[in-house]
């Protein structure tokens, strides 16, 4: 009995509370819409005395839909999250005014203090990549006249330093078995589907670098560059101190093959590059001819040959098209081309 009375009182109090709360909210709402009405009227009056009051009901309709569909608010939230991300352009992979901006994460593995390369050296590598991929490298104009009609010009691919991850290692030199890309023996890649990961470490057997072609596992995606072939300053050592090991490796990462097609007179799947017998080293004399079909002059200054850094300075238009194909809808690196 006493219990029931208590409950009734509680119920009544609750009802009273709810009613007054509703009244307050309702009141506020009315005040607000009155204010809005006034502002709208003012604007309309300013526009024309006789214009009828026009309203767009979109917001009201949305409110009704939110009430009717309990799943709608989550979808709206996802749209807002996306929009905010787009506006802030948080170094996500992105296509800006026709330029593919690739965020770059540099993973530095060092066994000696010298191998813990400086920010200046890292920036020199990013600068070299940007110069080479935009054809604004100072030696671009050295391209022999016979190849000037096939020069790439700006590839519209740009590199932006996103982060540097440093880690000391007891490994004196790494092979090409990807140990530098595992957290247990190196550094795992950061966001590999939207960021280009570059590992800088000491490589064994005189290897300057290696890349993973599109289509591989994202856990090992990116390029590896020897610390003595990285950038243009610091520990970078001639004849590999123009940052072009990275230019070459990133070319592979964007699906370019070696210019000799990795076979005697092989195909690189690009139609504006000449046939090459084999890889060229050092600095071949101008006009060096291939013995392949048609004995064409070899394009030894192409980034996808094996010549010294000062002797490679161009991509072709065909190579540019092949690289950009990876970003297209349905392409293997389309995730890098999203706003």
Nearer to ligand ARG among residue 240 and residue 253 (C-beta): 240
Say if residue 239 is preceded by a cis peptide, omega within 30 of 0.
yes
Give whole-number Cα distances, 82 to 34, 92, 94, 99, 293, in Å.
34, 12, 13, 21, 53
Catalytic pick among 92, 101, 249, 298: 249
| Binding partner at 152 among Ca ion, ligand ARG, none, C-beta below 5 to 8 Å by kind | none
**Which of the residues 153 through 182 are near ligand ARG (CB under 6 A)?**
none
Torsion of CA 130, 136, 138, 144, to 10 degrees: 120
The piece of 59-67, 81-89, 199-207, 284-292 that touches Ca ion (CB under 5 A) is 199-207
Minimum Å gap between C-beta 238 and ligand ARG is 11
Would you call 80 a catalytic residue per the annotation? Answer: no
| Binding partner at 290 among Ca ion, ligand ARG, none, C-beta below 5 to 8 Å by kind | none
Cβ–Cβ < 8 Å for 286, 144: yes
Minimum Å gap between C-beta 174 and ligand ARG is 13
Angle at 210 between CA 307 and CA 126, to 5 degrees: 80
Q: Considering CB under 6 A, how many residues would be counted as binding ligand ARG?
A: 14
Angle at 171 between CA 170 and CA 175, to 5 degrees: 170
Minimum Å gap between C-beta 248 and ligand ARG is 4
208 binds ligand ARG (CB under 6 A): yes
Cβ–Cβ < 8 Å for 111, 166: no
Minimum Å gap between C-beta 268 and ligand ARG is 15
**Which of the residues 218 through 277 are near ligand ARG (CB under 6 A)?**
229, 240, 244-245, 248
* Longest CA–CA separation in the chain, Å: 109
- Residue number with the smallest Cβ distance to Ca ion: 228
Cβ neighbours of residue 134 under 8 Å, at least 6 residues apart? Answer: 154, 155, 156, 158
**Which of the residues 289 through 318 are near ligand ARG (CB under 6 A)?**
306-309, 312
Closest CA to 245 of 112, 132, 123, 106: 132
| Binding partner at 202 among Ca ion, ligand ARG, none, C-beta below 5 to 8 Å by kind | Ca ion
Nearer to Ca ion among residue 137 and residue 235 (C-beta): 235
Which of 228, 232, 247, 302 contacts Ca ion by CB under 5 A?
228
Minimum Å gap between C-beta 258 and ligand ARG is 9
Beta strands in the chain (DSSP E): 94-96, 99-110, 157-168, 196-201, 209-211, 223-226
**Which of the residues 18 through 37 are near Ca ion (CB under 5 A)?**
none
139 binds ligand ARG (CB under 6 A): no
Minimum Å gap between C-beta 154 and ligand ARG is 21
DSSP 129-175: HHHHHTT--TTGGGS-GGGGGGB-----EEEEEEEEEEEE-S-S-B-
226 binds Ca ion (CB under 5 A): yes
**What are the catalytic residues?**
249
Which residues are at the interface with ligand ARG (CB under 6 A)?
A: 207-210, 229, 240, 244-245, 248, 306-309, 312
């Amino acid at each position: 009995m006493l219990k029931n009375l208590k409950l009734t009182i509680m119920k009544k109090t609750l009802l009273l509370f709810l009613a007054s709360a509703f009244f307050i909210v309702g009141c506020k709402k009315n005040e607000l819409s009155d204010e809005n009405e006034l502002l709208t009227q003012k604007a309309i009056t300013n526009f024309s005395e006789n214009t009828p009051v026009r309203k767009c009901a979109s917001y009201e309709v949305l409110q009704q839909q939110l009430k009717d569909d309990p799943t709608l608010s989550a979808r709206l939230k996802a749209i807002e999250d996306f929009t905010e991300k787009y506006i802030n352009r948080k170094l996500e992979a992105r296509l800006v005014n026709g330029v593919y901006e690739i965020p770059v994460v540099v993973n530095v593995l060092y066994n000696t203090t010298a191998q813990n390369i400086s920010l200046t050296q890292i920036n020199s590598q990013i600068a070299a990549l940007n110069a080479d991929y935009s054809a604004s490298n100072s030696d671009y104009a050295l391209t022999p006249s016979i190849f000037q009609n096939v020069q790439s010009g700006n590839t519209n691919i740009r590199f932006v330093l996103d982060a540097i991850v440093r880690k000391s290692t007891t490994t004196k030199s790494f092979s090409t078995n990807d140990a530098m890309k595992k957290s247990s023996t190196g550094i795992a890649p950061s966001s590999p589907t939207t960021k280009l990961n570059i590992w800088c470490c000491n490589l064994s057997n005189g290897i300057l670098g290696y890349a993973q072609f599109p289509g591989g596992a994202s856990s090992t995606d990116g390029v590896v560059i020897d610390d003595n072939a990285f950038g243009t300053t610091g520990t970078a050592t001639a004849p590999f101190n123009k940052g072009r090991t990275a230019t070459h490796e990133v070319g592979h990462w964007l699906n370019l093959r070696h210019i000799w097609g990795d076979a005697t007179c092989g195909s690189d799947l690009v139609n504006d590059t000449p046939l090459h017998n084999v890889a060229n080293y050092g600095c071949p004399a101008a006009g060096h001819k291939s013995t392949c079909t048609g004995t064409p002059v070899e394009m030894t200054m192409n980034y996808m040959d094996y010549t010294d850094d000062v002797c490679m300075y161009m991509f072709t238009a065909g190579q540019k098209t092949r690289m950009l194909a990876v970003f297209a809808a349905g392409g293997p690196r389309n995730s890098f081309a999203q706003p």
